[in-house]
Structure 1
């Protein structure tokens, strides 16, 4: 699900019974334990919208979220766990605890509600702001954090986060402090840390407002993403940028993310790269489902003097394995090689 409609109901429940958001977690937690052995230069990144929505809007999510953590732990036992996991819609404590269940040693959290609520920064034109709807959740502030979490087996040496301007949103999405979380991760065999970013952009029809209004907010969010990444991630740093981009198959949103001014200049997109490989690689039902939805993406770009090569794409918890019982998204893993150019 988009995670939008439940936020409006949750907000009004919060007004009646207290804010549903729990205390903000630490910026980066580092549990004890040694870094697992890894093949130098190997990096695997999973993007996964886990639909971690709170009661009473989402029912019986605790067991599914725990199952996600346990399945990731099972991959770890087999030595096939993704090195880095990007979670979206990890709003609840149960969703955030996936990191502990799965055995990840390093965890970073995205923007909190306060990061957006404590600024008077505006981004949208006055005519857009004047049409803001209270009943659609556009004028009552942020009631939830971004839902963004990055889990890593490798050390997170630095983080940066940005919440979109409070008015750079449309409809029910305005109740969450959406934005971007960037982590710099020390990948074994890489000469310098790799920047790995996570985001969740404004939904479209699920906002509850007009598509034109949702698309205006989406365009502004893309502008803020480009400016933020351009400021904090220099071209000498390799970048993997994943998340729920809510692109779908809509030409205007495709143009905003991959057109003349792409979110990752000089980058490639995993699904396009995988399906356009020569010779063609087989596309199974799980990957076809990801392609059909068109929302979960990873963009990647090498650092100067290095190569960042996509070697495989896999869906660990696919349709036959009950993936849609865990979440309404299928999380997928992209395997990369980071190597110096000889």
Structure 2
């Protein structure tokens, strides 16, 4: 059964003076989806969220929520909840009063308000702080209360504007888990704005990657990471080894790239067309590379080099290998035998050509 479309953006555009902040944005969000707007500062993600919320009017295009045109409709008439990175709780109100605020504005009976506040505080696992004031809560607790206040009105759409950015790493991870649980339990359609790729990959059903006001790619987290539509998407999401070079010709159903570093790299074109002699940039992610003995069979080793540095990062180790004139980063999960790899050791590197992405080299 085809899902309903909760939010639709059709050729939405926003400018500030001569600066085009959002350019021709098209998007359909299904009921119950969690969508992330991901990109660097200034890419247009928060501006787009503010247009959906009704805080800004688009200069062109149309925004619809639940099939109704929203252009010109004030924010308080859009049936949405919003959570900001700064919590925005009323300091003079208790937690229960903060959460109840939106319900009181809707003139709901007191008994019903009390029941809804109790249930939503249980949902965010904070029923014991109902009588406290915001200043008596930790940062993580305050943000969960802000989320509870947005959810208690049972909005058709939840908007989250970088809600985890003010928290330390451990709290951010805990609240990220909490957001995923809450989305699963409530089923509310959610738009999540972030510049943090891990948050977007973890929380989203789909991700919209933005750059300079334009949509670079819309896809599932798996597609965004493993099938990037552009060089920008590939380099913005995750870490990768950048290896400029020249197309030497075809090889084993793909192509061979003579890298500037001095070794040949096999890659699949992945639907792109390149010509022999074309200047390109090849990328291979650190976790897609494996270290082998330097004397391994020639057909299994893609390149050979010398370990220059190892960095212990908990569950994995990052290893820098000098290959020709390039330093190639390899990321390895902790396992037996890893201690045998030390600085100065000669090693072979191997990877699947399907894991190598090639893009035309741009003028610097």
What TM-score results when the alignment is normalised by the length of structure 1? 0.31
TM-score by length of 2: 0.30
Q: Whose radius of gyration is greater, 1 or 2? A: 2
Please state which structure has a larger fraction of its residues in strand. Answer: 2
